[in-house]
């Protein structure tokens, strides 16, 4: 099998398939959040770290005007081709979500699957929240989802899963390599085994993520007072079941409202 060391984000088609299984639940949940927590009508949506536009183009097809930003130019081109293909209003741009200007006001923003943890420092995380606060209109919301590090109980963070579409099948394995709670750095190995009619390919990558305990996340939020937490959920994406965050919480989706 051919093996390559590369960023998984450089393979938009594979990325979309591997991370697509929760898409329907995420879309339903996001729509419910917009209807419940945004003051006034939700017309324009922004996704920091939008990647391939997996969620963005589907929301565009539902009638929202969309915008996004991502560091990976291949993912952004893929996203924009999709937005163009469906004749949708709005585009993604290449840039760093910790330091950007969206150029206009949005009703809601979202960032659901740990992308926020790619920001390597407290300064970058704060910069990001400030940029999002600047792009939201008052009464707008930011829906932010990430895994926390529990300080009681065991974290469950080795995973394997498979995905298939037509002739393309991908087995994914993700495992922790190193965790440094003092520096708040975590490194995960991730491997895509890609099976195509033209041959098989193994892609190996390492993801570097910043860690957050519930307390660390709460003190970060307190530093950006324009974004106020209104409710917490988990990766079950069930609006009827908000959660109470404590030392055992592993995953959260927080709804922040712009004052």
Ligand X SMILES: C[S@@+](CC[C@H](N)C(=O)[O-])C[C@H]1O[C@@H](n2cnc3c(N)ncnc32)[C@H](O)[C@@H]1O
Total length of the chain: 259
Distance CA 243, CA 235 (A): 11
The strand pairing partners of 8, in sequence order, are none
User: What angle (nearest 5°) sits at the alpha carbon of residue 210, between those of residues 209 and 212?
Assistant: 130
Our CB check for ligand X shows the closer of 24 and 247 to be 24
Our CB check for ligand X shows the closer of 91 and 118 to be 118
Our CB check for ligand X shows the closer of 127 and 140 to be 127
DSSP string covering 51-94: TT-TTHHHHHHTT-EEEEEES-HHHHHHHHHHHHHTT-S--EEE
Please give the order of strands across the beta sheet that includes 92-94: 92-94, 65-70, 44-48, 106-111, 136-147, 251-258, 227-233
Shortest distance, CB of residue 41 to ligand X, whole angstroms? 24
Question: Residue number with the shortest CB distance to ligand X?
Answer: 51
Our CB check for ligand X shows the closer of 120 and 150 to be 120
Shortest distance, CB of residue 225 to ligand X, whole angstroms? 23
Our CB check for ligand X shows the closer of 49 and 201 to be 49
**Interface positions with ligand X (CB under 6 A):** 9, 19, 47, 49-51, 54-55, 69-72, 75, 96-98, 112-113, 115, 118-119
């Amino acid at each position: 099998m051919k093996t390559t060391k590369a960023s998984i984000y450089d393979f938009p088609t594979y990325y979309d398939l591997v991370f697509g299984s929760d898409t329907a639940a995420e879309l339903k949940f996001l729509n419910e959040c917009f209807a419940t927590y945004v003051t006034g009508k939700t017309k324009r949506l922004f996704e920091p770290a939008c990647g391939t536009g997996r969620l963005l183009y589907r929301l565009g097809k539902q009638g929202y005007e969309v915008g996004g930003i991502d560091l990976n130019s291949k993912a952004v081109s893929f996203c924009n081709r999709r937005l163009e293909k469906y004749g949708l209003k709005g585009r993604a741009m290449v840039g760093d979500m910790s330091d950007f200007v969206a150029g206009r006001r949005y009703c809601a923003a979202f960032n659901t699957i740990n992308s926020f943890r790619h920001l390597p420092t407290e300064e970058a995380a704060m910069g990001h929240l400030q940029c999002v606060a600047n792009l939201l209109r008052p009464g707008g919301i930011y829906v932010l989802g990430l895994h926390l590090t529990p300080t009681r109980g065991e974290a469950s963070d080795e995973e394997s899963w498979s995905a298939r579409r037509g002739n393309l099948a991908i087995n994914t394995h993700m495992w922790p390599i190193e965790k440094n709670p003092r520096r708040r750095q975590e490194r995960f190995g991730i491997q895509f085994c890609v099976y195509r009619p033209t041959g098989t390919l193994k892609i190996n990558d390492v993801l570097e993520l910043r860690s957050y305990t519930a307390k660390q996340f709460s003190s970060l939020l307190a530093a950006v007072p324009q974004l106020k937490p209104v409710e917490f959920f988990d990766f079950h994406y069930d609006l009827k079941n908000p959660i109470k965050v404590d030392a055992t919480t592993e995953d959260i989706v927080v709804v922040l409202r712009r004052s």
